[in-house]
C-alpha cells in the first residue's frame, strides 16, 4: 500500500541518519526531522504535542519504529548540537518543532533545546515572524524556558513590527510566553476598568518593557483584525492574558462583540476544549478583578450597585449583554 512505501522510506532515512549523520547538511537534518514529525512517524504519545492529529501513516511495527526514531533523534541531537551555528534560522525552527511534535525528551535533546534557545537569543534578527512564533511555541512545549531566548523573541513583537505577524504567529508567540510564565512588568497596565490612569504606566514605560510591549501589540492587533484569527488562535490569545494574570477589558470586550455580536462568528465552530478555555479566560478576568480591588482599596475605579463585585466588574469590562450572551450561547 501507499503507507507501506512511505514507512519504508522513513525507516531507511532514519537508519541512514544513525549510520552517517555527520555527512548530512543542516538543511537535510532539519528537513528529515520535520518530515518525521509532520506524519507522526515514531511519535511518542506520552510526551508529543497534539496526539490526535499526529499520526498520519500506518505502521505494522509501531513500537519498533518509535524505538528506531528515538535512537535516530538521539544521534541527531548530539550531532546537531555541535554545529548549530551552521543552521539557518528556519532550519533551527524546523528542527526544534520536530522534536516538540514527536515528544522526544532526553539529556541530549535538552542540550539541543538549550542550544537552539541560545541561537535565537544570539541572532534574533535572522528569524522571520513565522520562525519566531514557532520557535517560541516549541521551546514552551518542550519546557525550555530560557529567559534570554524568550526576551529576544518577544522583542520582535513590538508595536512597530507587529503588523508583519500573521494571527497564528502572534497566538503561538503569546501562548508560549504565557506558558513559560513571562509577563509584563506592569500587570495592571491594561486595566482601564479598575485602575486609575495615574496608576497605570505611560506609553514610554510600557515600551521599555519588552514583554509589556509584546502583550500590548498582540492585543491591539487582535482587536484590529479579529476576523483573521481562527478559533484556536483567538482562544489562545485570550487564554494567555488570563493565564499570566493580566486584565485587559478592551481586548475581552472587543472579542466578545466579535464572537457573539449581531454579525459575530458565533461559538458553534469552537471545539469543546477551545470553548472551555475561552470561557475560563473570561471567568478568570473577573476573578482577577478581586485581587485588583483588594490591592487598590479606596483608589479602585468601582462604584458598586450592590451586586457581587466579580459580576459587577464583568459587566463593566464587557457590557452586561455581552457577558450574558457569551455564557448563554455557550
Task: Encode pLDDT of 58-70 as tens digits.
Answer: 777 888 989 999 9
CB of 233 within 8 A of CB of 226? Answer: no
Residue 313: band (very low, low, confident or very high) from pLDDT cuts 50, 70, 90: confident
Cell of 197: 490612569
pLDDT tens per residue, range 151-201: 999 999 999 999 999 999 999 999 999 999 999 999 999 999 999 999 999
Cell of 200: 497605570
How many C-beta atoms surround the C-beta of residue 63 within 10 A? 8
Cell of 237: 490569545
Task: Provide DSSP, 45-58.
Answer: TTT-SSGGGT--S-
pLDDT for residue 60? 78
Residue 264: band (very low, low, confident or very high) from pLDDT cuts 50, 70, 90: confident
Residue 269: band (very low, low, confident or very high) from pLDDT cuts 50, 70, 90: very high
pLDDT for residue 52? 38
pLDDT tens per residue, range 1-55: 556 788 889 999 999 999 999 999 999 999 999 999 998 888 776 665 554 355 5
Model pTM score: 0.92
CB of 115 within 8 A of CB of 82? Answer: no
Q: 118: Cβ–Cβ under 8 A, 6 or more apart, which residues?
A: 84, 146, 148, 149
DSSP state of 200: S
pLDDT for residue 51? 43
pLDDT at 202 over 50: yes
pLDDT for residue 263? 83
Q: 254: Cβ–Cβ under 8 A, 6 or more apart, which residues?
A: 222, 223, 226
Main-chain dihedrals φ then ψ at residue 41, nearest 5 degrees: -75, 120
Query: Average pLDDT over the chain, rounded to whole?
Result: 92
Q: Per-residue pLDDT averaged across 130-141, rounded?
A: 97
Query: What is the rounded distance in angstroms from the CA atom of residue 138 to the CA atom of residue 144?
Result: 9
Q: Per-residue pLDDT averaged across 271-297, rounded?
A: 93
Amino acid at each position: 500500500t501507499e503507507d507501506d512505501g512511505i514507512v519504508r522510506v522513513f525507516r531507511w532515512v532514519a537508519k541512514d541518519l544513525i549510520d552517517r549523520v555527520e555527512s548530512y547538511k543542516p538543511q537535510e537534518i532539519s528537513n528529515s526531522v520535520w518530515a518525521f514529525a509532520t506524519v507522526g512517524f515514531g511519535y511518542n504519545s506520552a510526551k508529543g504535542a497534539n496526539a490526535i492529529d499526529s499520526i498520519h501513516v500506518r505502521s505494522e511495527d509501531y513500537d519498533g519504529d518509535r524505538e528506531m526514531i528515538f535512537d535516530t533523534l538521539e544521534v541527531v541531537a548530539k550531532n546537531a548540537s555541535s554545529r548549530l551555528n551552521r543552521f539557518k534560522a528556519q532550519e533551527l525552527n524546523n528542527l526544534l518543532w520536530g522534536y516538540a511534535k514527536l515528544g522526544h525528551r532526553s539529556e541530549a535533546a535538552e542540550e539541543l533545546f538549550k542550544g537552539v534557545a541560545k541561537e535565537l537569543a544570539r541572532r534574533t534578527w535572522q528569524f522571520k515572524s513565522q520562525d519566531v512564533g514557532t520557535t517560541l511555541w516549541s521551546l514552551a512545549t518542550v519546557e525550555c524556558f530560557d529567559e534570554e531566548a524568550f526576551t529576544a523573541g518577544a522583542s520582535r513583537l513590538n508595536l512597530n513590527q507587529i503588523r508583519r505577524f500573521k494571527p497564528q504567529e502572534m497566538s503561538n508567540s503569546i501562548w508560549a510566553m504565557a506558558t513559560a510564565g513571562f509577563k509584563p512588568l506592569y500587570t495592571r497596565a491594561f486595566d482601564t476598568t479598575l485602575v486609575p490612569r495615574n496608576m497605570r504606566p505611560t506609553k514610554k514605560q510600557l515600551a521599555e518593557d519588552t514583554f509589556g510591549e509584546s502583550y500590548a501589540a498582540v492585543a491591539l492587533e487582535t482587536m484590529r483584525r479579529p476576523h483573521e484569527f481562527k478559533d484556536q488562535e483567538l482562544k489562545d490569545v485570550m487564554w494567555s492574558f488570563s493565564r499570566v494574570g493580566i486584565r485587559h477589558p478592551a481586548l475581552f470586550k472587543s472579542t466578545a462583540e466579535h464572537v457573539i455580536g449581531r454579525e459575530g462568528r458565533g461559538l458553534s465552530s469552537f471545539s469543546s476544549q477551545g470553548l472551555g478555555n475561552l470561557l475560563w479566560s473570561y471567568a478568570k478576568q473577573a476573578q482577577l478583578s478581586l485581587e485588583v480591588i483588594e490591592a487598590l482599596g479606596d483608589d479602585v475605579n468601582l462604584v458598586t450597585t450592590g451586586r457581587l463585585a466579580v459580576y459587577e466588574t464583568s459587566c463593566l469590562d464587557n457590557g452586561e449583554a455581552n457577558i450574558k450572551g457569551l455564557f448563554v450561547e455557550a
